[in-house]
Chains A and B, each alone.
Chain A
Amino acid sequence: MATTASLTLASADIAGDPVSVSKTATLTKAGTINDLDQSTGLNRVHLRSTTNKTLLTANTEGNDLAAKVYIINKATDSSLYVTVTINAQTVGKLYAGNFMFIPWSQTDTAAAIEVAATNWTSSTGDIPVEYALFHEDTDFLTNA
């Protein structure tokens, strides 16, 4: 039933000595040791819009609850990126192959997670984006 997330950061040459950091987290409900028990599963969309599109709609019932979001840009052209915003606040740009894994608070209904294929053109082709949400609320829907 448990959901685990593991991250490994490794470099042989970014510092004088090799760097290796590994972390595994078991995803739990807010402030407890109980496992998160709901998920959207893995989803895939194809972005072809330079303006923001809602990936995950915020629900204020989730404000005090735990939720984790995974998003990856599956493009192969290194120049193509996806801009990720929360409530119109830019978080960062996912370039081809980049992923993110973040906790998500839904402080209000405006706290949606939105994505835009900011430098998309008709000649670049769609940008495939995959995402998953793990959460605990019963009324927590996504509307890709």
Chain B
Amino acid sequence: MATTNATIALTSGVTDSSLSVSNTTELNTAGTTTGVNTMTSVTKVLSSTNQVDLITTGSVATTHAYVYINNPSVDETEYFHITIGNAGAGSPTDTEEIGRLYAGDFMWMPWDVDDDICITPSTANDMTVEYMVFS
């Protein structure tokens, strides 16, 4: 059993009274206090605007995982559509868009490993995406 912690800090001056939130959580297997013990870390360069399966359900052996995706671009026109759904056999069309990951943005979410996580670059430039999966 490994011990892995995720910490988030949000600070915002949007409102008159500033917002500051900080939380740390230990990454455990579903419904337990047992730490996850598997980690995958990948960097890919995508060179077309085609939607691709980024993280497939077959790549994880559990039913509960944590996913980190990062768009390291510094060009504000370069973003990714992040979708989740029934990617099927090489036909990732039946998917729901979660959101767009703009340049410099990251996302962190739990994943129940029922459906693939897909990604669509906004441009055909070489766009780098980084992701990690803990399970």
**Which residues A51-85 have CB closer than 8 A to chain B?**
66-68, 70, 72, 78-79, 81, 83-84
> Which chain B residues lie closer than 8 Å to A95 at the CB level?
28, 30-31, 64, 110
Are B110 and A3 closer than 8 Å at their CB atoms? no
User: What count of chain B residues pass the 8 Å CB interface test?
Assistant: 62
> Which chain A residues lie closer than 8 Å to B13 at the CB level?
1-3
Q: What's the nearest-Cβ distance from chain A to residue B122, in Å?
A: 9
Q: How far is A10 from B35 in the complex, measured between Cα atoms in Å?
A: 13
Are A28 and B26 closer than 8 Å at their CB atoms? no
Interface string of B104-129 (1 = CB under 8 A from A): 11111111101100000000000000
Are B39 and A14 closer than 8 Å at their CB atoms? yes
> Which chain A residues lie closer than 8 Å to B28 at the CB level?
78, 95
Determine if B59 is an interface residue (Cβ-Cβ < 8 Å).
no
Interface string of A21-39 (1 = CB under 8 A from B): 1010111101111001111
Are A9 and B85 closer than 8 Å at their CB atoms? no
Q: A31-B102, A103-B98 are in contact. Are A36 and B14 (CB under 8 A)?
A: yes
Which of B6, B21, B111 touches A9 (beta carbons < 8 Å)? B6
Are A93 and B21 closer than 8 Å at their CB atoms? no
**Which residues A79-118 have CB closer than 8 A to chain B?**
79, 81, 83-84, 86-87, 89-95, 97-105, 107, 111
Q: How far is A101 from B19 in the complex, measured between Cα atoms in Å?
A: 16
Are B19 and A103 closer than 8 Å at their CB atoms? no
Determine if B91 is an interface residue (Cβ-Cβ < 8 Å).
no
Q: How far is A37 from B14 in the complex, measured between Cα atoms in Å?
A: 6
Determine if A139 is an interface residue (Cβ-Cβ < 8 Å).
no
Q: B residues near A, CB below 8 A?
A: 2-15, 19, 21, 23, 25-26, 28, 30-33, 35-39, 64-66, 68, 70, 76-77, 79, 81-82, 84-85, 95-102, 104-112, 114-115, 132, 134
Q: A residues near B, CB below 8 A?
A: 1-15, 19, 21, 23, 25-28, 30-33, 36-39, 41-42, 66-68, 70, 72, 78-79, 81, 83-84, 86-87, 89-95, 97-105, 107, 111, 132, 134
